[in-house]
Amino acid sequence: MIAHPSDFARQRLLSQNLNNSVLRAFAILELFDDTRTEISAAKVARELGVNAITAHRFLKTLEHVGAITAVSRGRYRPGYKLIHIAATAGDAHHVALRLQPTLNELARAANESAMATLFDGRYVICIATAMSERAVAFAARVGARLEAYATANGKIWLSNLSETALKFYLTNVPREAFSERTLVTSDDLLAEIKATRERGYATNSGEREDDLTAVAVPVKSRDGDMVASMSVFGPSNRFDQKASARSVTLLQKAASGVTALF
């Protein structure tokens, strides 16, 4: 027997240290599928094992934030917010597919690992990666979120923000030191961003992980907008200045080559 997504949702409700209200909200959204495009309060109450009042309250809250929309009294379908989120996820997948062959070639040419990221305003998100064939190599997990201020990919994104957006980031995003090299003060980070803008690429030397070094460049569209970042990274004991310089050259050539794709 194939379990319905709501079965898994109910199991997750038993997990501790999680917010049950959030889990229930997602359990409701998981009731939608290819064959069920509308749901009712009665259906939610039955599937989630809650009373009608609770089901109605959850549905009205989801409607308020745009996750679902009412089609008739007591019946709902997915709303504009879910469509927007799905489109955003689709865009990331689209960029990842276009960059994956380039990352594979970068990893081969640099003999180190490579990755591509997007930026959500606070973190960079790994959307694609390629592993070095070396016996010892760093790996990046697709979907991982990394602090922008402490990574090469993040700093190249920050260097391409407008002054208004950068000021908002520095004012509102908390920063902690992952190592003694992490740049946490606004003055230090601004100086690094200025240097990054001037040279056209970003660096990271043990700022998040003590023994990791990385370089990153922007990927821009034909209109000049930044659409992603790409980096090459490896253990600091072998990713020295010469290896970094060579990787920057490879990255810049690769970024130039994919501009036509965007």
Local confidence band at 9 (pLDDT 50, 70, 90 cut-offs): very low
Residue 243 burial by Cβ neighbours in a 10 Å radius (0-12, 13-18, 19+):
middle
Identify the H or E element spanning 42.
Answer: helix 41-48
What's at 240, amino acid-wise? D
For position 73, what pLDDT does the model report? 83
Please check the confidence at residue 174 and state whether its pLDDT lies above 50. yes
Tokens 């259906």, residue?
43
C-alpha to C-alpha distance for 42 and 217, rounded to whole angstroms: 53
Query: Over the chain, what is the mean pLDDT?
Result: 89
What is the pTM assigned to this prediction?
Answer: 0.70
For position 84, what pLDDT does the model report? 65
C-alpha to C-alpha distance for 232 and 212, rounded to whole angstroms: 11
What's at 14, amino acid-wise? L
Work out the angle at residue 82's Cα, subtended by the Cα atoms of residues 36 and 84, and round it to the nearest 5 degrees: 140
Question: Long-range contacts of range 32-38, CB-CB < 8 Å, 24 or more positions apart?
Answer: 32/77, 32/78, 33/5, 37/77, 37/78, 38/71, 38/75, 38/76, 38/77
Please check the confidence at residue 138 and state whether its pLDDT lies above 90. no
| Average pLDDT estimate for 98-105 | 97
For position 190, what pLDDT does the model report? 97
Contact 27, 13 (CB under 8 A): yes
For position 83, what pLDDT does the model report? 67
Closest CA to 227 of 261, 183, 192: 261
Strands, sheet with 75-78, edge to edge from the N-terminal-most edge strand: 39-40, 75-78, 68-72
| Number of residues written out for the chain | 262
For position 6, what pLDDT does the model report? 45
**Predicted confidence (pLDDT) per residue in 50-85, tens digit:** 999 999 999 999 988 888 988 888 899 888 777 667
Domains of the chain: 5-78 (1.10.10.10), 87-261 (3.30.450.40)
For position 10, what pLDDT does the model report? 47
For position 88, what pLDDT does the model report? 66
Distances (CA, A) of 208 to 36, 123, 148: 45, 13, 10
Is residue 219 left, alpha or beta, with left meaning phi > 0 and alpha meaning psi from -120 to 50?
A: beta
Which is higher by pLDDT, 19 or 162?
162
For position 4, what pLDDT does the model report? 46
Which neighbouring-strand residues pair with 204? 214
Structure token digits, residue 92: 């990331």
Local confidence band at 172 (pLDDT 50, 70, 90 cut-offs): very high
C-alpha to C-alpha distance for 206 and 214, rounded to whole angstroms: 9
C-alpha to C-alpha distance for 183 and 14, rounded to whole angstroms: 40
